């Protein structure tokens, strides 16, 4: 009878690796076995192991190195389960990874039958190497340590290849698995027994030594590949959240092979000329920062056409570094220098008078590092914006004081706006300290237009009006206010103003649901739109050419009221018009944005939300 025989299947991992002989001893015993030909060799032993292992996955034909085959061994399940971070069951990001593993039948996402990184994993890693192109901090992704672990895995693969050139996961036979979490005979993620079988001590020592050596290599491969697989899945989740959190369901699909990785990654990319120009600007300012370019300081003197001296030379150097000036450094404020100053001013929303005044000088002395931070923040905000999911929408950028109406993904109309004042006392809103007059960033949809709207006076504005009225009992009646039966918290009757030429809402209001009670509206004070900085309201947004915008929305909506607006404007009767298709409205706070030519524009930080620098713009 052949002395090499098993009494039970060898499944999972030996819980007591410290009791084994050193691998050098194992190798010596294997050498003596082969030399003496005293019993069946390793190949024969492996054949016997495969032949008598009950319940093991039937091995396919050996796979040539370099040909990718899907992992199929049931051993993956407990190794992957133990590789999952402890918070996987409670963390929202971990839940989708668990869901994907279940759909994938607890096979690895990124590793094949021969424990090699598969095409999906390589595609993801290649994209993660370009994180800085999108101004995403690579530190949390720990790519260097991950690559080191990949090298370790490859070393393990090469070592097993020496013992078994045709190795693959379904050929593995592991003995006496004992889970660190559950102990011997514990439960796996499916609740089944983890310890399935044990070895027969009747196997001759040399064959057993070879099997132990081979088993140890397989165990290390399963453990290392499982750990890398779960970590790479976490990196995918982190990267997706950096691009936009809406893609959760797609993450599960791509992990469980229901979607191609390359297609998924392409879908995450923000394909817009504005974003590409921000990336280009980030590269330029990153080069200025990393190159330790000395940034000239512009002294506090007014410079204009015809001036000469060191201050002008410093100005020319400064403009040249950012690409606004390409002439020689002459120290003469000539026409070409003036043109460069105007370009700089337009790129920073400063009146382009071609002279160096206080506001222009302030921008000239903002550090390149700080500007780089502003650009990176803008890139992140643009990626996370809901605008990327709409073809037709309104976008308002608060620091830019601009409204853009998009159709088919392109800017169709641009309007100046007036936003909430930067001044005013600070209040806490959603855990953040903001000014009481600040216009809040939000996403909603314009559902209704109101022609000839009434203006209902808020509590805060009523207190301001009381100060203006003073002791004049006729003030409110003379100015078109109507008293209501309802009262303010302090007991005074509430007021509204009838439609008319002095109504602060002008001739049309755009309603969209939001928790801040703000809206978009016309204004009788049209002259304020000529100011470069336009933060004058109590939080609502006043829009230039409001009637033109209303007509455009109604026409694009196919709304019958589009043909009747002039009739409505001819009266002071309040008219409510529901849109057939609500128009998404996205109000954002982007200190860096883009102009009509998609070139980068530094809008400033009027609310001081960006950082430690004083408000600019």
> HEC states along 74-86?
CCHHHHHHHHCCH
Who has greater pLDDT, 433 or 511?
511
- CA 222 to CA 108: how far, in whole Å? 10
**pLDDT range class, residue 282, cuts 50, 70, 90:** very high
- Give the largest CA-CA distance in the chain: 119
Of 367-376, 460-469, 499-508, the poorest mean pLDDT is in: 460-469
Phi and psi at 266, nearest 5°, equal -65, -35
In sign, the C-alpha dihedral spanning 466, 468, 469, 472 is positive
Q: Quick one: the chain helix, strand, coil %, rounded to 5?
A: 45, 15, 40
Closest CA relative to residue 361, chosen from 398, 311, 323: 311
Residue 421 has pLDDT above 90, yes or no: yes
pLDDT of residue 330: 95
pLDDT of residue 346: 93
Query: β-strand 535-537 against 178-179: which pairing, if any?
Result: unpaired
Say if CB 205 and CB 29 are below 8 A apart. Answer: yes
- DSSP-derived 3-state class of residue 592: strand
Out of 154-158, 388-392, 453-457, the most confident range is: 154-158
pLDDT of residue 46: 32
Residue 294, token pair as written in the block: 């000395």
Residue 255, token pair as written in the block: 């992990």
Who has greater pLDDT, 351 or 510?
510
Half-sphere exposure of 394 (CA within 13 A, CB side): 31
The pTM assigned to this predicted structure is: 0.76
Q: What 3 state SS string does 470-514 have?
A: CCCCCHHHHCCEEEEEEECCCCCEEEEECCCCCCCCCCEEEECCC
Residue 1, token pair as written in the block: 């009878």
Strand order in the sheet with 481-487: 455-456, 493-497, 481-487
Residue 27, token pair as written in the block: 């190798």
pLDDT of residue 68: 62
Q: How many C-beta atoms lie closer than 10 Å to residue 505's C-beta?
A: 23
For the chain, state the CA radius of gyration. 35
Helices 205-243 and 76-83: angle between axes, nearest 10 degrees:
50
pLDDT-above-90 percentage for the chain? 59
Q: What is the CATH number of domain 387-454+502-602?
A: 2.40.440.10
- CA 11 to CA 198: how far, in whole Å? 7
Question: Scanning the structure block, which residue is given the tokens 């996402």?
Answer: 109
Who has greater pLDDT, 524 or 488?
524
Closest CA relative to residue 81, chosen from 176, 7, 180, 171: 180
Who has greater pLDDT, 598 or 389?
389
Say if CB 423 and CB 437 are below 8 A apart. Answer: yes
Say if CB 489 and CB 505 are below 8 A apart. Answer: no
pLDDT of residue 203: 52
- pLDDT one-digit tens code per residue, 5-53: 333 333 333 333 333 344 344 343 333 333 344 333 333 333 322 333 3
Question: Scanning the structure block, which residue is given the tokens 């978009």?
Answer: 520
* CA 208 centroid distance within chain: 53
Helices 248-255 and 261-268: angle between axes, nearest 10 degrees:
160
- pLDDT one-digit tens code per residue, 83-131: 998 877 677 666 889 999 999 999 999 999 999 999 999 999 999 999 9
- CA 449 to CA 442: how far, in whole Å? 19
- CA 83 to CA 245: how far, in whole Å? 25
The CATH architecture annotation of domain 296-366 reads Orthogonal Bundle (1.10)
Half-sphere exposure of 438 (CA within 13 A, CB side): 22
Phi and psi at 122, nearest 5°, equal -65, -40
- Beta-carbon contacts of 2 under 8 Å, excluding residues fewer than 6 positions away, are 40, 48
pLDDT of residue 192: 43
120-151 burial code (b ≥16 CB/10 A, e <16): bbebbbebbeebeebbbeeeebeeeeeeebbe
Of 204-208, 273-277, 370-374, 612-616, the poorest mean pLDDT is in: 612-616
**pLDDT range class, residue 222, cuts 50, 70, 90:** very high
Question: Scanning the structure block, which residue is given the tokens 């109101």?
Answer: 450
Overall average pLDDT of the 55-67 stretch: 41
Half-sphere exposure of 66 (CA within 13 A, CB side): 0
Question: Scanning the structure block, which residue is given the tokens 């949390």?
Answer: 140
- Beta-carbon contacts of 104 under 8 Å, excluding residues fewer than 6 positions away, are 255, 256, 257
In 351-431, at which residue ranges do the beta strands (DSSP E only) sit? 393-397, 402-407, 410-420, 426-429
The rounded mean pLDDT for the chain is: 83
- Beta-carbon contacts of 204 under 8 Å, excluding residues fewer than 6 positions away, are 3, 4, 39
Who has greater pLDDT, 562 or 492?
562
Question: Scanning the structure block, which residue is given the tokens 């309104």?
Answer: 394
Query: Exposed (0-12), middle (13-18) or buried (19+): which is 527, by Cβ within 10 Å?
Result: exposed
- CA 328 to CA 335: how far, in whole Å? 13
- CA 313 to CA 297: how far, in whole Å? 11
Question: Scanning the structure block, which residue is given the tokens 């990124």?
Answer: 110
CA torsion 19→23→25→27, rounded to 10°?
Answer: 140
Beta-bridge partners for 396: 403, 587
Range(s) within the chain of domains with CATH label 2.40.440.10: 387-454+502-602
In 124-176, at which residue ranges do the beta strands (DSSP E only) sit? none
Closest CA relative to residue 325, chosen from 334, 314, 335, 337: 337
Which secondary-structure segment (H or E) carries 186?
Answer: none
Task: Region of 415 please: left (phi>0), alpha (psi -120 to 50) or beta.
Answer: beta
Overall average pLDDT of the 463-470 stretch: 82
**pLDDT range class, residue 269, cuts 50, 70, 90:** very high
CA torsion 134→136→141→144, rounded to 10°?
Answer: 70
- CA 268 to CA 127: how far, in whole Å? 11
* CA 515 centroid distance within chain: 25
Range(s) within the chain of domains with CATH label 1.10.101.10: 296-366
């Amino acid at each position: 009878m052949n002395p090499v025989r098993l009494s039970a299947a060898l499944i999972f991992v030996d819980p007591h690796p410290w009791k084994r002989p050193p691998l050098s001893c194992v190798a010596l015993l294997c050498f003596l076995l082969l030399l003496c030909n005293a019993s069946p060799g390793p190949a024969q032993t492996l054949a016997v192991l495969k032949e008598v292992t009950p319940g093991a996955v039937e091995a396919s034909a050996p796979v040539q190195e370099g040909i990718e085959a899907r992992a199929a061994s049931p051993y993956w399940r407990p190794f992957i389960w133990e590789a999952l971070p402890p918070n996987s069951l409670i963390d929202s990001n971990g839940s989708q990874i668990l869901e994907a593993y279940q759909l994938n039948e607890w096979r690895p996402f990124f590793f094949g039958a021969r424990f090699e990184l598969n095409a999906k994993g390589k595609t993801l890693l290649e994209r993660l190497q370009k994180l800085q192109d999108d101004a995403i901090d690579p530190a949390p992704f720990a790519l260097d340590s991950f690559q080191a672990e990949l090298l370790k895995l490859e070393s393990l693969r090469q070592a097993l290849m020496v013992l078994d050139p045709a190795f693959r996961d379904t050929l593995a036979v592991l003995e006496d698995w004992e889970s660190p979490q559950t102990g011997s005979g514990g439960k796996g993620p499916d609740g089944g027994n983890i310890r399935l079988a044990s070895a027969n001590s009747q196997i001759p020592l040399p064959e057993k030594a070879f099997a132990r050596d081979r088993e140890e290599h397989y165990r290390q491969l399963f453990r290392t590949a499982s750990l890398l697989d779960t970590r790479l899945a976490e990196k995918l989740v982190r990267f997706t959240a950096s691009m936009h959190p809406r893609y959760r369901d797609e993450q599960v699909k791509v992990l469980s092979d229901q979607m191609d990785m390359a297609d998924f990654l392409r879908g995450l990319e923000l394909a817009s000329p504005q974003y590409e120009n921000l990336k280009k600007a980030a590269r330029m300012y990153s080069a200025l920062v990393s190159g330790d370019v000395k940034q000239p300081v512009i002294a506090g003197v007014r410079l204009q056409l015809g001036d000469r001296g060191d201050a002008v030379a410093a100005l020319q150097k400064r403009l040249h570094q950012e690409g606004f000036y390409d002439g020689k450094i002459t120290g003469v404020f000539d026409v070409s220098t003036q043109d460069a100053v105007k370009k700089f001013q337009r790129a920073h929303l400063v009146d382009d008078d071609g002279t160096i005044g206080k506001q222009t000088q302030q921008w000239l002395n903002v550090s390149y590092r700080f500007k780089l931070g502003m650009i990176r923040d803008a890139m992140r905000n643009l990626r996370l914006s809901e605008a990327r999911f709409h073809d037709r929408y309104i976008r308002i950028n608060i620091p830019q004081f601009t409204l853009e109406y998009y159709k088919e993904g392109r800017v169709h109309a641009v309007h100046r706006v007036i936003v909430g004042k930067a001044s005013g006392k600070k209040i806490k809103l959603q855990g953040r300290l903001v000014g009481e007059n600040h216009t809040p960033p939000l996403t909603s949809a314009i559902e209704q237009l109101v022609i000839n709207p009434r203006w209902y006076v808020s509590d805060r504005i009523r207190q301001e009006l009381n100060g203006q009225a003073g002791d004049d009992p006729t003030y409110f009646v003379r100015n078109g206010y109507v008293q209501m039966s309802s009262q303010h918290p302090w007991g005074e009757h509430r007021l509204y103003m009838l439609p008319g030429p002095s109504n602060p809402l002008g001739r049309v209001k755009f309603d969209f649901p939001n928790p801040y009670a703000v809206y978009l509206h016309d204004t009788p004070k049209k002259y304020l739109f000529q100011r470069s900085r336009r933060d004058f309201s109590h939080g609502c947004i006043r829009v230039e050419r409001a009637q033109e915008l209303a007509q455009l929305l109604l026409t694009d909506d196919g709304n019958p009221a589009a043909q009747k607006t002039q009739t409505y404007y001819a009266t002071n009767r309040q008219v409510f018009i529901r849109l057939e298709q609500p128009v998404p409205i996205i109000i954002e706070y982007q200190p860096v944005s883009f102009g009509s030519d998609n070139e980068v524009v530094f809008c400033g930080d009027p609310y001081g939300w960006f950082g430690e620098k004083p408000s600019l713009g």
